[in-house]
Amino acid sequence: MDDLEQQIKSWSTFYSLQKKGRKKFGSIWRIPLSKKLMHVIAPLLHDGMSVLDVGAHDRKLESKITALNSTIHYKSLDIDPFGNHDYRSFDEIKEKFDIAILSEVIEHLTFPEGVHLLQQIESVLKPGGAIVVSTPNMKHPHRYWTSPDHITPYNFDALAGILMMAGFELENMHRIHNQPFFPFYFRRWIGSWLHWYLDIDFALSIVAVGRASKKT
């Protein structure tokens, strides 16, 4: 099979999986809201688990995770040569993790690079391990456009599709709003009809939770 045929097959597979993700949730309005990313991560954490934070930047998740459970073994991977990280590449990793987190990273890559990164993450997860992926919500009026180095936008169904394309089973999705009570209350219960009519969303990010294959 030549490169063109492989590319057509890959995109055909992605569109099929994207459609599957869209069918599962119907629309973005049916995806549940959570205030913070940690509200999605917290239920996945159990005593003694190991967590890999990919594209960890300043490792800010470390303190939040270990504050919830001090028995969690946290490690970070980031290509930034100036950051204090455990790994610079997947080639350095010789262990398996229970959970991997990819927060606001995948939009900085091309689509093929995104698929490859997710496959690399899957390779360092234990059988049945969880992955949490967040990306800017494309239904938000300006969230995606706040950074000049964003490359690939993902609607909720596209995020679901690429996750499944990389070999994960899609478990659930969330919308992260990160807003105080009164602005959230207004937008959720009073302004919701206007958001729906204009086809825009106040949630800042979309999060997908997936599971690696349970096969060894």
Q: How many Å apart are CA 34 and CA 37, to the nearest integer?
A: 7
Q: Pairing relation of β-strands 169-176 and 125-136?
A: unpaired
Average pLDDT over residues 1-22: 77
Angstrom distances, CA of residue 115 to CA of 13, 18, 63, 121:
12, 13, 29, 10
Phi-psi category of residue 211: left, alpha or beta, with phi > 0 → left and psi -120 to 50 → alpha = beta
Average pLDDT over residues 144-172: 95
Provide the pLDDT confidence category of residue 3 given band limits of 50, 70 and 90: low
Q: What is the pLDDT of residue 200?
A: 84
Rounded to the nearest integer, the mean pLDDT of the chain is: 91
Average pLDDT over residues 83-95: 95
Neighbours of 137 (CB within 10 A): 27
Q: Report whether pLDDT(213) > 60.
A: yes
Q: What is the pLDDT of residue 205?
A: 97
In the sheet that holds 205-211, the strands lie side by side as 33-34, 169-176, 205-211, 125-136, 97-103, 50-54, 73-77
3-state secondary structure (DSSP) of residue 215: coil
**Domain positions in the chain:** 7-211
- What residues have CB less than 8 Å from 48, skipping those under 6 apart? 71, 72, 73
Average pLDDT over residues 85-95: 96
- What residues have CB less than 8 Å from 150, skipping those under 6 apart? 107, 108, 136, 144
Percent of the chain predicted with pLDDT > 90: 74
- What residues have CB less than 8 Å from 131, skipping those under 6 apart? 99, 100, 101, 102, 118, 121, 122, 125, 163, 168, 209, 210, 211, 212
3-state secondary structure (DSSP) of residue 139: coil
Q: What is the pLDDT of residue 60?
A: 94
Neighbours of 56 (CB within 10 A): 25
Average pLDDT over residues 18-27: 93
Average pLDDT over residues 84-96: 95
Q: What is the pLDDT of residue 5?
A: 56
Q: What is the pLDDT of residues 52-85, one digit of tens each?
A: 999 999 999 999 999 999 999 999 999 998 889 9
Provide the pLDDT confidence category of residue 91 given band limits of 50, 70 and 90: very high
* CATH code given to domain 7-211: 3.40.50.150
Q: How many Å apart are CA 180 and CA 101, to the nearest integer?
A: 25
Q: What is the pLDDT of residue 199?
A: 79
Q: How many Å apart are CA 78 and CA 207, to the nearest integer?
A: 20
Closest CA to 90 of 122, 129, 45, 127: 122
Q: How many Å apart are CA 88 and CA 2, to the nearest integer?
A: 33
Q: What is the pLDDT of residue 4?
A: 52
Q: What is the pLDDT of residue 1?
A: 44
Q: How many Å apart are CA 53 and CA 131, to the nearest integer?
A: 10
Q: Report whether pLDDT(171) > 80.
A: yes
